[in-house]
Each structure stands twice: as C-alpha cells, then as structure tokens.
Amino acid sequence: MPRSNSFIFSVLNALVLAASLCSPAQGADTSTAESDTVLTKLQDFTDRATELAMLAFSMIGIHYKYGGNTPENGLDCSGLVRYVFKEAWGTTLPRTSEEISRVGQRVETRDLQPGDLVFYNTLRRAFSHVGIYLGDNKFIHSPAAGGEVRIESMDVGYWKKRFNGARRISEPEQK
C-alpha cells in the first residue's frame, strides 16, 4: 500500500477511535456537566476533522492548475482549500493564499489540529502557499504545475524552511 494511503487509513482509524471515546461506556456516570462538556468538545473536534479530512482526501490525485478552483478543471493550493471549506462547511474563503492568511485565528505550531491551515513562502513572498493540516505533522495541498494534490510531511526540510504560520477557520454556527 502506498505511504499516503496508509497514512490516510491511520488518520481515519484515529478519528474512529476518538469518536468511539465520545460515546460513554454503558453504565458510566455521565451526569456531571464537566464530563459532558469534555465529551461534546471531543465529538465536535472529531466531527470537524473528519468532515474536512474526508473531503480533502478525496481530492488526492487531482491535477494542479494555476487559478483552478474545481476538481474537474484542476486546483491550485488556495483553490483546494477554498473548495474543501466551501463543500464541507459552506464557508467561502478569499481567493488567494495571502488573503486566506488573514482569515480566522492565528495558531501556534504546537497547537495545530486537523483542519487548520498551514502557510508557506514558496514564491519568495510570505503566505504564497497554503495547505490543510491533517495531524501527525502532515498536510494536504496542491503543490505546483505538473503536480497533483498530495500529502506531505511538514518535517521535510523544504517545508520547514518555508513555514510562515497557521490559522484556524471557525466552523459556522449550525442553525
């Protein structure tokens, strides 16, 4: 099995495990507000990560196209991010990675969660590239001309040197 597929299955297994932890054991005392709050937060996190990750994973292999914003025609980095957030949450993000870098809340690297956005300087200017963090120091992105949407490690020297920061986009309130 290719490495990216085994990583996908590892992430999905972790999400399933986390979801199962959200369901109280039979006979467990879940009457306290504190335990209910913790379980709700864990379930919300799992749902949020699963929704974005599943849609992002389905984009693997889509060819890169500068200015592309649909899987049918190809996606550039910001097109991928915009498409995933629009389809998963109905959230419309700005068109460019630089504009997207001003949306949401700043996140420290140590606090990254699946679904957060990671930004890189790939064109000799800050925030010229964006991807979606998946966990385990991995992110999914649409790299460049001739490439396809794929998963990469943030630990690779190329990405480490070019990292600009991360942002968290809040899911819109459900009505």
The domain over range 1-175 is classified in CATH as 1.10.10.60: no
Is residue 138 very low, low, confident or very high in pLDDT (cuts 50, 70, 90)?
Answer: very high
**Predicted model pTM:** 0.76
φ, ψ of residue 104 to 5 degrees: the values are: 80, -165
Is residue 53 very low, low, confident or very high in pLDDT (cuts 50, 70, 90)?
Answer: confident
| Tokens at 136, concatenated | 């385990």
On whether the CB atoms of residues 82 and 147 are closer than 8 A, the answer is: no
User: Which residues does the annotation mark as catalytic?
Assistant: 77, 129, 141
pLDDT value at position 21?
A: 42
Range of 8-17, 27-36, 39-48, 125-134 with top mean pLDDT? 125-134
How many Å apart are CA 87 and CA 85, to the nearest integer?
A: 6
pLDDT at 2 over 70: no
Q: What would the pLDDT profile of 120-131 be if each residue is shown by its tens digit?
A: 999 999 999 999
| Tokens at 127, concatenated | 């925030």
pLDDT value at position 50?
A: 78
pLDDT at 75 over 80: yes
pLDDT at 171 over 60: yes
Largest CA distance in the chain: 58
DSSP the chain: --HHHHHHHHHHHHHHHHHHHHSPPTT----SHHHHHHHHHHHHHHHHHHHHHHHHHTTTTPBB-TT-EETTTEE-HHHHHHHHHHHHH-PPPPSSHHHHTTSSEEE-GGG--TT-EEEE--SSSTT-EEEEEEETTEEEE--STT-B-EEEETTSHHHHHHEEEEEEPPPPPP-
Quote the mean pLDDT of the chain: 83
How many Å apart are CA 55 and CA 112, to the nearest integer?
A: 19
pLDDT at 101 over 80: yes
